[in-house]
Homo-oligomer: A and B are copies of this chain.
Amino acid sequence: MPELRQDPVTGKWVVIATERARRPESFSLQRGEAEVAPQASCPFCEGRESMTPPETYAIRPGGGPPDSPGWEVRVVPNKFPAFEGPMGEEKRLGLYRTRPGAGVHEVIIHSPDHRRDLEELPIEQVEKVLDTYRRRLRELCKLSFVRYLLVIVNHGRDAGASLEHPHSQIFGSPLVPPRIEEELAGTASFLGSVGACVFCRIMEEEQRAQERLIAENEHFVTFAPYASRTPFETWIIPRRHGRAFEIIQESEIPALASMLKEVLSGLSRGLGDPPLNYYLHTLPCRDDREYHWHLEILPKLTIRAGFELGSGMLINVARPEECAAFLRESKPLARA
């Protein structure tokens, strides 16, 4: 079972993922050789359902038993979970604090197609993936030992993808992660001093300033954030103030699918299918604080080096205004 250990100086928690642990000597062989399973042995392809742990959810329009072919979207537990099982007790070991890495860790397989990335799928399929996010978030939030659910995508080997077949992951952690706590604290502080949602204000400011705007539709606004941490950092924010993704309205799902397709296609076209990560920031489970859910996309085009690691400050080598202009000007191509 994974273990959480607390840094005795900063109080931050680190996951020691023993289930995916490697022997120390394996690290000397690992560089530049990350395994990305090819199609021939891909456990996420249709017909290989027995290669994954039993599914927890699937869209299977023609019916049929679980873990059989015929699915459109399929959700399975991660074989090497970072969080697993019910809450255990926190222990003190002298100075140190540890607790079991309780929680869940699931994989959402975007479609049976091994090759097509999210933005290359038909819009109806992207809607199904988003609807699956919503359903799993609602379901997993019921688990008493899950405090936060983070949906992420790793695209490309350099962004940490270990399986090629396009998929998302949901990490259900027993703690609210530091990055979320910081955003919640910032939201509360802005609300207290200004009396408004900081994310709503940012969206208004970006629509007014225009220079960092990338795309807009009826329900969503996309822009390069003012203090972008990396070149081409991109946020997708819903116009309608809502604290949690799970309460997204039916009518907003097609608009989000369309926006996500457009933005990911633009990045892929403009930058030549860059490695990237994106994640959904939503309210913790059973939380009544104010928040405004959104998606953050971070292409992986530069390296976090000694300064970034030692300081916790980031150096971004591209101006967000130029990145946004570049993406606005990169015209859509016809796609299958």
Contact A28 B270 (CB under 8 A): yes
Contact A277 B301 (CB under 8 A): no
A305 → chain B closest CB, angstroms = 3
Copies per complex of this chain: 2
Given A14-B316, A183-B10, A227-B7: A311 touches B178 (CB 8 Å cut-off): yes
A 14-60 contacts with B by CB, 8 A: 14-18, 20-25, 27-31, 34
Contact A177 B279 (CB under 8 A): no
A180 → chain B closest CB, angstroms = 7
Contact A313 B12 (CB under 8 A): yes
Residues of B within 8 A of A298 (CB): 309
CA distance A242 to B134 in the complex (A): 52
Among residues of B, the one whose C-beta sits closest to the C-beta of A27 is B301
Contact B14 A229 (CB under 8 A): yes
Whether A223 sits at the interface, judged by CB under 8 Å, is no
Whether A323 sits at the interface, judged by CB under 8 Å, is yes
Contact A20 B227 (CB under 8 A): no
Contact A309 B15 (CB under 8 A): no
Residues of B within 8 A of A12 (CB): 182, 227, 312-313
Whether A154 sits at the interface, judged by CB under 8 Å, is yes
Known: A14-B227, A148-B311. 8 other contacts (CB 8 A): A10-B185, A12-B312, A24-B326, A159-B303, A177-B310, A179-B313, A277-B306, A281-B310
Q: Could you give 22 example pairs across A and B, Cβ below 8 Å?
A: A7-B225, A7-B227, A8-B198, A9-B186, A12-B313, A14-B316, A24-B322, A24-B325, A25-B326, A27-B231, A31-B272, A94-B209, A95-B198, A152-B307, A159-B306, A169-B306, A169-B307, A177-B312, A179-B312, A180-B312, A279-B306, A296-B310
